[in-house]
């Protein structure tokens, strides 16, 4: 009974954290999409509509932004070098990373949550076997 009450409290907190994380992720990807769309639109507007701006002035800007994106990708690869890139390994790494972030940022122990879920399942199985 105590385990179930603790788990219910943790479930509510986990859902709050999941909503906050989803909102943060949506804002990040939305802002990224808006940035690249704006870059695309402004570049083409400047090249084809503004008479005194041409490709010779806009090209260095687009080149710099493209190279910055490439450097960001290289940084990501170097940060994760030597890591197994199979899907199951990446999923396990992300789970550990999220668990660490949730523990430090929200003071939520996801390992305790998973332990309580498994404990309740075991208790319910024992009850079913005892009743049968």
pLDDT digit of tens for each residue in the chain (132 aa)? 677 787 787 778 878 888 887 888 889 889 989 988 998 888 788 778 888 877 777 778 778 888 988 998 888 778 777 766 666 676 777 777 777 777 777 777 777 777 888 888 888 888 888 887
Gap between the Cα atoms of 53 and 85, Å rounded: 44
Is 132 a domain residue? no
Cα–Cα nearest to 33, from 41, 43, 23, 45:
41
pTM of the predicted model over 0.75? no
Is 38 a domain residue? yes
Which domain does 65 fall in, by range? Answer: 2-127
Is 37 a domain residue? yes
| Residue written as token pair 């998973």 | 114
For the chain, what is the domain count? 1
Residue 85 confidence (pLDDT): 62
């Amino acid at each position: 009974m105590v385990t179930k009450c603790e788990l219910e409290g943790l479930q509510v907190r986990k859902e709050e954290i999941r909503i906050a994380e989803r909102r943060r992720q949506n804002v990040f990807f939305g802002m990224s999409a808006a940035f690249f769309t704006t870059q695309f639109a402004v570049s083409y507007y400047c090249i084809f509509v503004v008479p005194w701006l041409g490709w010779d002035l806009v090209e260095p800007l687009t080149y710099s932004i493209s190279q910055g994106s490439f450097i960001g990708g290289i940084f990501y690869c170097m940060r994760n070098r030597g890591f197994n890139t199979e899907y199951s390994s990446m999923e396990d790494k992300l789970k550990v990373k999220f668990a660490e972030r949730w523990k430090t940022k929200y003071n939520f122990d996801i390992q305790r949550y998973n332990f309580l879920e498994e404990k309740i399942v075991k208790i319910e199985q024992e009850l079913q076997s005892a009743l049968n």
